Structure 1
């Protein structure tokens, strides 16, 4: 029987090609759904930055982060404006939807406010409709505001609505990123004074977009947004989300 000789370099190339095909990642989309604390900003808002902006930098070319978060939105107003339907129309199997609401739901004087019962039902809708598309929901508790008590301890301004997110995640067995807890720990580590470095605090005349200055303890500057995005990325590893396979080193 005649032996067939194979050139070694050719054989090596074939092995490499087969390996690359077998380990190739599926291209996915990661949708960010939520409010101003993670949204992209208009130029006139700079240096205000949502954590969803630097979050896009952490992923390789096979994961596209599509930030649909919008300023001032709650679980209900995001639905009412057709923004959720627009995501569902393009959502595909194995995509991810990261959902963070609460800032505008919990303020009863806002038009966007929801009752605790409405808030939970809306979160369940997001989860169920994401799963119906064979995509993957991840719930995120609302990121902390900068507020300290007279003893220098961070105040949990999202206590009720953050717990509602935890309850829904537990009930529906949804992966949870407790950004409220993690961001509070971060602010406590920085302390009352230094934590201003993470938020939109500007003196008069310091920035042309805010000629009179600004003291905003809800929205982040670039540094703060980066810190919060890193917390979310680290938590993806903690909850052992398959998304970590798309995070660059």
Structure 2
């Protein structure tokens, strides 16, 4: 079930009292467009516990200049643009006794800029790492603000005023994660050449972030599911991951090599098991889905969660000023030893779609 409340944009700390004086409870909490906030929380009969997390609420208005983000038509139905905070209480027996929401103005924010591999995917069965990673951070310490959108490139993201929206909210001490490549490599008006215009655009964003006291973080794009006959991932992203690596070194910025870790992850799963990390489902798996879904770019919830773990690993290894905000009890993750997909279980949300996100 869902709970919505109208709130102005910003960061909020949320406390949820869970339990049942006459029974047990099992609850998973998501926010907005299926953004994972807390994983499975269980209470015994007659017992109660408090779940806490920090969430970002956004709208499309750029107040500093009186204009708006240029949303795509499909975005108008998304919960993360509706001027409300929506919480989803899911799992086998969610029991909610109370919800407390307080403004959190002084904590730092992690802004995410990217495409469909980062965005809060609105509909099952698609997912992206950006909507999984909030669950890995301590409550009351930092907020994740996901401004990624499907189909975007560096050029298109700026052209739609999404970057301007981030700058209008960013403050010293914040972070900006930048991950683009899948769509930038395609011909057309938004194409950028990897070693010239693409690198220069990254450097422009880095310079602007630093001018504002924001820490830029470059993330290489994860591989597509493209295996050769020997069971190895082939590079479908051309020179773009290397261009990011070069830029990070030249500019001395924080860096997460998700491209390298995803190759290790997919190859560890292998050509067959890796299907479970992507949107591959037989016809009629979901309502109104007469055709097979076979997408080797976009992720299932399992795949998105494993990639979020890779990003967390990169933070732990390379960004100590951000790693201090991660939860203290996180197990060590090795992409060469992915979690057993047979044991993966994230309750499905009620929003289900059959149209592939923009980009591939």
Distance apart, 1:164 and its partner CA: 0.4
Say which structure is richer in strand: 2
Per the normalisation by structure 2, the TM-score is: 0.60
Structure-1 separation of matches of 2:263 and 2:288: 28
1:53 aligns with 2:131: yes
**Change beyond 3 A, Cα 1:171–1:37:** same
Structure-2 separation of matches of 1:215 and 1:111: 28
Of 224, 233, 238, the match for 2:317: 238
Residue in structure 2 matched with residue 118 of structure 1 by the alignment: 197
Residue in structure 2 matched with residue 31 of structure 1 by the alignment: 111
Structure-2 separation of matches of 1:58 and 1:152: 31
Larger radius of gyration: 1
Distance apart, 1:209 and its partner CA: 5.6
Structure 1: which 5+ runs fail to align?
Answer: 1-25
Structure-1 separation of matches of 2:181 and 2:320: 23
Structure-2 separation of matches of 1:148 and 1:113: 26
**Change beyond 3 A, Cα 1:209–1:36:** farther
8 A Cα contact 1:202 1:210, kept in partner: no
8 A Cα contact 2:254 2:319, kept in partner: no
1:191 aligns with 2:286: no
Of 252, 256, 269, the match for 1:173: 252
8 A Cα contact 1:207 1:213, kept in partner: no
Say which structure is richer in helix: 1
Structure-2 separation of matches of 1:111 and 1:193: 37
8 A Cα contact 1:32 1:65, kept in partner: yes
Distance apart, 1:175 and its partner CA: 1.1
**Residue deviations 1:79-117 (CA, integer Å, cap 9, x gap):** 111110110011000100111000100122x54322222
1:104 aligns with 2:210: no
Task: Give the secondary structure class of the aligned counterpart of 1:32.
Answer: strand
Deviates more, 1:50-59 or 1:204-213: 204-213
1:42 aligns with 2:154: no
1:144 aligns with 2:220: no
Task: Give the secondary structure class of the aligned counterpart of 2:198.
Answer: helix
Task: Give the secondary structure class of the aligned counterpart of 1:106.
Answer: coil
Across the two proteins, how many residue pairs are aligned to each other? 221
Task: Give the secondary structure class of the aligned counterpart of 1:57.
Answer: helix
8 A Cα contact 2:108 2:173, kept in partner: yes
Structure-2 separation of matches of 1:181 and 1:60: 27
Residue in structure 2 matched with residue 164 of structure 1 by the alignment: 243
8 A Cα contact 1:158 1:180, kept in partner: no
Distance apart, 1:210 and its partner CA: 3.4
Structure-2 separation of matches of 1:216 and 1:82: 29
Higher relative contact order (CA 8 A, sep 6+): 1
Structure-2 separation of matches of 1:209 and 1:238: 44
Per the normalisation by structure 1, the TM-score is: 0.86
1:204 aligns with 2:283: yes
**Change beyond 3 A, Cα 1:65–1:167:** same
Deviates more, 1:134-143 or 1:201-210: 201-210
Structure 2: which 5+ runs fail to align?
Answer: 1-105, 330-360
